[in-house]
Amino acid sequence: MAEKLYLGLDIGGTAIKAGVCDGEGRLLHTVEGPTEGGQGAERILQNAVACARRCVEESQHGWDRIAAVGAGVPGFLDAARGVVKFSPNLPLAGFPLRDRLAEALGKPVSVGNDANAAALGEAWSGAGRGVSSCVLYTLGTGVGGGIVVNGQLIEGFTGMGGELGHMKVVPDLEAIQCGCGKKGCLETVSSATGIVRMAQGAVERGDRTSLALVENLTAKDVFDAAKAGDEVARRIIERAALYLGKSMALVAVIINPELFIIGGGLSQAGEFLIEQVREAFRKCALERAQEGVGIVAAALGNNAGVVGAAGLARRLAT
């Protein structure tokens, strides 16, 4: 019998990506299409189904090889019922995504949070391949995360497992309000938004920095300035790295993972960022909890989500 294949769907705010993976998490084919979230939940479903069919067709493996389908969505899910509870950027609240996809595609379907799916993807065939446990930090507009222990996602009782961006790590004296309503969350500092906010603050205060000359500051501008030796930019990145390291020191005595993986847009800063995170972690973490523990960049890039969604599917079919 031919090897089972798994179809992953990464349903994002603007694009849907579909991918066919083999049982080792190798991505055999991938296609993209629009989400068109503004057109409502039914349109998102139609687009996801079209993307899925096109991907399998183009892959030339045939529908019968697909054992199951997985879908990652940005938001919180009722995993048991397969229903989206809340999605900040898509009109999917209350939508029974799992059953509707299963109906349309004629396959068993598993759905999950997109950051968790990305962690599962990295654990399966990315930077975490072969390790016993890993924790993914996705550094983008916010800070997302996902935790995989012995191949199993820690999704949590209400789907809040791996919501690492909302660890309160910034002391009250310097804490600002987070989008979640609490103060001092990791993502207020260690996200692209946090880095830009700190840079704008420095410029507004009149700090001597090359960033004052940049219009429409982005996190990349701050990284570039820091790499070029701008002291203000350097301190901002150092602060973002410090709180990442502090949060990892906490995770290290709770989960004690073998590997931390840094993904998302900010991970493009590469070793410049990661080496600073390692240094902060080394300084903050209990010695026994950092023995042999690695901190590395994600390996699957934008494909982590679709590979992980295929990994969600694999749970159903093995």
String marking each residue 131-150 x if it binds a copy of itself according to CB under 8 A = -xx-------------x-xx
Q: 228 or 286: whose CB is closer to a copy of itself?
A: 286
Q: Is 154 in the site for a copy of itself (CB under 8 A)?
A: yes
- Closest contact distance (angstroms) between CB of 146 and a copy of itself is 11
User: Residue 99 burial (CB < 10 Å; 0-12/13-18/19+)?
Assistant: middle
62: left (phi over 0), alpha (psi -120 to 50) or beta: left
181 binds a copy of itself (CB under 8 A): yes
**Binding to a copy of itself (CB under 8 A): which residues in 82-101?**
none
Of 56 and 251, CB closest to a copy of itself = 251
For residue 104, the minimal CB distance to a copy of itself (Å) is: 29
Q: Are strands 259-263 and 5-11 parallel, antiparallel or unpaired?
A: unpaired
Q: Does 288 bind a copy of itself (CB under 8 A)?
A: yes
The alpha-carbon radius of gyration of the chain (Å, integer) is 20
Q: How large is the angle between the packed helices 192-205 and 219-227, nearest 10 degrees?
A: 70
Residue 316 within binding range of a copy of itself, rule CB under 8 A: no
Q: Is 77 exposed, middle or buried (0-12, 13-18, 19+ CB in 10 A)?
A: buried
The two three-digit tokens of residue 274, written as one number: 């990661």
Choices 8-16, 108-116, 164-172, 189-197; region in contact with a copy of itself by CB under 8 A: 164-172
Angle at alpha carbon of residue 144, lines to 142 and 148, rounded to 5° = 170
The token pair at 220 is 């990349």
Residue 151 beta carbon to a copy of itself: minimum distance, rounded to whole angstroms: 11
Q: Which of 14, 39, 89, 152 binds a copy of itself (CB under 8 A)?
A: 152
Residue 30 has phi, psi (to 5 degrees) of -145, 145
Q: What angle do CA 169, 172, 173 make, to 5 degrees?
A: 120
159 binds a copy of itself (CB under 8 A): yes
Q: Which residue ranges make up the site for a copy of itself (CB under 8 A)?
A: 76, 132-133, 147, 149-150, 152, 154-164, 166-168, 171-172, 180-182, 246, 249-258, 284, 286-289, 291-293
